[in-house]
Structure 1
Amino acid sequence: MSGLKKKLSPILLISTFILSAIAHYTHFGSIAEFILSAIAVIFVAGFLGKATESVAHYAGQRLGGFLNATFGNAAELIIAIFLIKEGLFDMVKASLTGSILGNLLLVLGISLFAGGLKHKVQNFNVTLAGMNGSLMIVAVIALFIPAVFLNTKSITSSETNTLSLVVAGILIVSYIAWLLFSMITHKDYLEDATYDSDEELPHEHTPAWGKKRSILYLFIATVMVALVSEWLVHTLESITAAFGLSELFVGAFVVAIVGNAAEHSAAVLLAMKNKIGAAVEIAIGSSLQIALFVAPVLIFVSFFMGTPMNIVFTVIELVAIVVSVFIAKSITQDGATNWYEGLLLIAVYLILGVSFYLA
């Protein structure tokens, strides 16, 4: 069965990619194009996740988790850039919100649940958990301030765009400083002490590819994600209209779930291998990267495209982000997790999903 799966995976990857390309360039119809593109994104994201996990094996646990989160967010970033190009700012913000919710609640929730079923209690660095929680609160503050000042008429729309650029710049600098702090100056302080990150765990498989091939496949997968993302975005307006869905729901859940497919699989597999530190690093680290780096970068991208997008999110989006940060921080702050805590995160995600659908 394992051998059959290894043979089928590349065949399915290539065939879904080709079918999606044919559907896009021959104009099959929006629904067919959307379905094929969504399936292709999932397979390509899976390929991206596998390549990243292979590279991460050679890089160590913390850097590996960072690489997984970064390349896992490649699909999200690329999709958002194409949405900005189409002028779909509301959907961009909804997809960013959905990505934060998806990582903090769904990815982390499933990881804790699956890992907890196999290992009764899993532990990771409590200091890192506290730092992650503080960073997410900073991100929430950064999103709240512009919204409050604009909605209270304290500043004009033009001034809001200026404030958005300033806030975005500060967040990017803060994120780069966090990478310097966590990866270099305080690397040992934040290292997961539950096991030696260079020590292979029981039953853990060696990477499928060597270092050079893993890096090459990582590059190829990123290019494939860029192409399929453009094809997917091309169909979103038609799908939204055809099914009567709101841009808020499509952006926050459909685009976010498809775009985060790589993190979903990688984090869950690592949690089941008792590498809960790496799984948490992917889930929470990915949310931090979206809030502190991807969203600010998109503000600058829109500015240089000549169609400035501000950093003001809707009340619904802000409340959803605050709720997800609060529950995720509450559950991870003690540095120990179990399957029931994972179930609680999934429950909150489902509640928000239904609410967004009905909004």
Structure 2
Amino acid sequence: MAKPSLELGALKDKSLHEFEEESLDSPASIGRKSNLMEETTDGSFSGSSRSHGKNTVLKSIKIMLFSTKLNLLMPFGPAAIVVDILTDNHGWVFFLCLLGITPLAERLGFTTEQLALFTGDTVGGLLNATFGNATELIISVYALKGGLLRVVQQSLLGSILSNMLLVLGCSFFCGGIVFYKEEQVFNKTSATVNSGLLLMAVMGLLFPAVLHFTHTELHFGKSELALSRFSSCVMLVAYGAYLFYQLKSQKNPVIPINDGESLTESLDEEVPEISKWESIVWLAILALWISLLSEYLVDALEGAASEWNIPIGFISVIVLPIVGNAAEHASAVMFAMKNKLDISLGVAIGSSTQISMFGVPFCVIVGWILGHPMDLNFQLFETATLFITVLVVAFLLQDGNSNYFKGLMLMLCYLIVAASFFVHVDPSSVGDLSEET
């Protein structure tokens, strides 16, 4: 009986020796180390654990701050605050804030993708859409607090348009170029549901505008606002039902990809670069920093439009959403080039759906609470632009496949929209009024 005991002891010593020789950065060694620490009682590995914790934090900081060249723009954020304190040049403050927010939005998208690797594909898509829109929602809330209701409306509209035309168009185009020998496919069911929600959002925005311009309000100045608030509550309920449908009704969503793999299997191939809790901490830090810069950005918006002699509507609809959508733009194009078109569609169209069915009604309710008459009357020009855009995108998505030509069409449509808002004068905007005078 003594011989087996000796052999077990030798094997144990050998396994400990092999464990000590493995790298601390190996996921397998870390897992075995944790198990061994639970079994030992002398605390001999506590020092190594603290050392590993420090290395993990340093590695996380290195990945977040030095893994992309876009982070070279981060110092422009503090520079904007310094320029605002020392000078009254709103144009420079606005420009520096745009530069400073751009890498933060990209890092926010990267952190969201890391967190999504720890969840399922459905929750991951919702996380990408939610935190990808965080920049626009934060800017909108600060503009709402400042009473810039038209800036809120136009920036939210611009976010919807840029996601549906620019982000989705670039995804289709880049994916089509990489996989030019084959036609990329996506889940038509999900695209149809999102298209239906977008058409419902158009309905919510269309009726208050028609009521206003036909002068058929029962109580002038009150019916339009009351209808907007009621419609906003209905849209929020619809979006809540949509989330329930996504998370509960589709219990085991397996989305086919061209090579026959499921989306979950495709996502499992990627290894997270930072842990789940590190992702959550970084999300909080980035959101706070974006909030601070957004306050300076909104304060300098009207002054920048006046100094640059650019319509404030063009800045709100085109410039701000492009900066805010940097995260969606990068991630959606990246997934399309990896032939994961369902994720790209979820990011682009999902973000548009979330802004239209959650962001816009949410701002109406927040304005109601703060005492600002925020409504769903986005004016006739903006509402017509959204209506035509939704129809074009829904038509291109109906067959369930994509190619580079469809992406090119969407991008060219966005150029037409951008040119239209550059020559459009919005009499409700302070910047345009100063330009007319």
- TM-score normalised over the length of structure 1: 0.93
Distance 2:298 2:153 in 1: 14
Amino acid paired to 1:169: C
Identity of paired residues, percent?
A: 36
Moved more, 10-19 or 192-201: 10-19
Label 1:180 to 1:86 Cα distance change in 2 as closer, same or farther (>3 A): same
Segment of structure 1 superposing worse, 175-184 or 119-128: 119-128
- Partner residue of 1:118 out of 178, 188, 205: 178
- Establish whether residue 18 from structure 1 lines up as the match of residue 78 from structure 2: yes
- Contact 2:235–2:361 (CA under 8 A) maintained in structure 1: yes
Point out 4+ residue stretches in structure 1 off by more than 3 angstroms.
Answer: 5-11, 24-28
Q: Counterpart amino acid of 2:94?
A: F
**TM superposition shift of 1:19:** 2.2
Question: What's the CA shift for 1:113?
Answer: 0.7
Higher gyration radius (CA): 2
* Structure 2 residue 276 is the aligned partner of structure 1 residue 211: yes
Contact between 1:37 and 1:228, CA under 8 Å: does it hold in 2?
yes
Instruction: Find 1:136's aligned residue among 195, 198, 203.
Output: 198
Task: Give the unaligned 5+ runs of structure 2.
Answer: 1-62, 425-437
Write out aligned runs for 1:85-104 (5 A): 85-104=145-164
Counterpart of 1:73 in structure 2 is 133
1:202-221 C-alpha deviation (Å, 9 max, x unpaired): 9x652221111112111111
CA deviation after TM superposition for structure 1 residue 187, in Å? 4.3
Q: Secondary structure at the match of 1:236?
A: helix
Name the SS for the 2:255 alignment partner.
coil
1:165 is the counterpart of 2:234: no
**Kindly tell me: are residues 117 and 316 of structure 1, through their superposed partners in 2, closer, same or farther at Cα, counting changes over 3 Å?**
same
**Aligned partners of 2:267, 2:114: CA distance in 1, in Å?**
15
> Cα 1:214–1:10, aligned 2, differ >3 Å: closer, same or farther?
farther
- Are the counterparts in 2 of residues 99 and 252 from structure 1 also a CA contact under 8 Å? yes
Name the CA distance, whole Å, in 2 between partners of 1:227 and 1:322.
34
Q: Aligned match of 1:299 in 364, 369, 382? A: 364
> Using a 3 Å threshold, how does the CA distance of structure 1 residues 350 and 157 change in structure 2: closer, same or farther?
same
Which residue, out of 333, 349, 356, partners 1:268? Answer: 333
Count residues in correspondence: 355
Match of 2:344 in 1: 279
Pairing partner for 2:264 from 172, 183, 198? 198
Q: Which runs of 5 or more structure 1 residues have no equivalent in the other structure?
A: none
Would you say 1:245 and 2:307 are equivalent positions? no
String of CA shifts for 1:102-141, please: whole Å, max 9, x gaps: 0000000001111111123211111111111111111111
Q: What is the CA-CA distance between 1:311 and the residue it aligns to?
A: 0.9
Counterparts in 2 of 1:278-357, with a 5 A limit? Answer: 278-357=343-422
How far residue 198 of structure 1 moved from its aligned partner, in angstroms, is 2.6
Describe the superposition over 1:50-80 as per-residue Cα deviations: whole angstroms up to 9, x where unpaired: 1011111111322212111111111111111
Q: Quote the Cα distance in structure 1 between the aligned partners of 2:178 and 2:326.
A: 22
- The root-mean-square deviation of aligned C-alpha atoms, in Å, is 2.1
CA apart distance, 1:331 = 1.2
Distance 1:199 1:218 in 2: 26
Bigger shift: residues 225-234 or 344-353: 225-234
2-structure distance, mates of 1:270, 1:61: 13
Residues 364 and 374 of structure 2 are in contact (CA less than 8 Å); yes or no, is this contact kept in structure 1? yes
Paired residue for 1:36, among 96, 121, 125? 96
Q: CA deviation at 1:247?
A: 2.3
Q: Deviation at 1:317?
A: 0.5
Q: Which segment is superposed worse, 151-160 or 285-294?
A: 151-160
Say if 1:237 and 1:119 are closer, same or farther in 2 by CA, change over 3 A: same
Secondary structure of the residue that 1:198 maps to in structure 2?
helix
In structure 2, relative to structure 1, the CA distance for the partners of 1:100 and 1:191 (3 Å cut) is farther
Q: Partner of 2:55 in structure 1?
A: none
Deviation at 1:13, TM superposition (A): 5.7
The answer on whether the counterparts of 2:156 and 2:355 sit within 8 Å (CA) in structure 1 is yes
Distance in 2 separating the partners of 1:58 and 1:331: 32
Retained in 2: the 8 A contact 1:94–1:247? no
Change (3 A) 1:201 1:213: closer
Q: 8 Å contact 2:74–2:101 — kept in the other structure?
A: no
Aligned equivalents of 1:11 and 1:351: distance in 2?
A: 31
Amino acid at match of 2:112: T
Q: Of 111, 114, 119, which aligns to 1:59?
A: 119
Q: CA deviation at 1:8?
A: 5.8
Q: Does 1:149 align with 2:211?
A: yes
More displaced stretch, 255-264 vs 280-289: 255-264
Offset at 1:7? 5.1
Structure-2 change in CA distance of 1:8 and 1:23 (3 Å): farther
Partner AA of 1:183 in structure 2: L
Which residue type is aligned with residue 88 of structure 1?
L
Counterpart-to-counterpart distance in 1, 2:250 and 2:68: 43
C-alpha distance 191-294 of structure 1, shift in aligned 2 (>3 A): farther
How far apart, CA to CA, are the structure 1 residues paired with 2:85 and 2:155? 25
Q: Whole-Å Cα distance in 2 between the matches of residues 197 and 71 of structure 1?
A: 21
Change (3 A) 1:83 1:201: closer
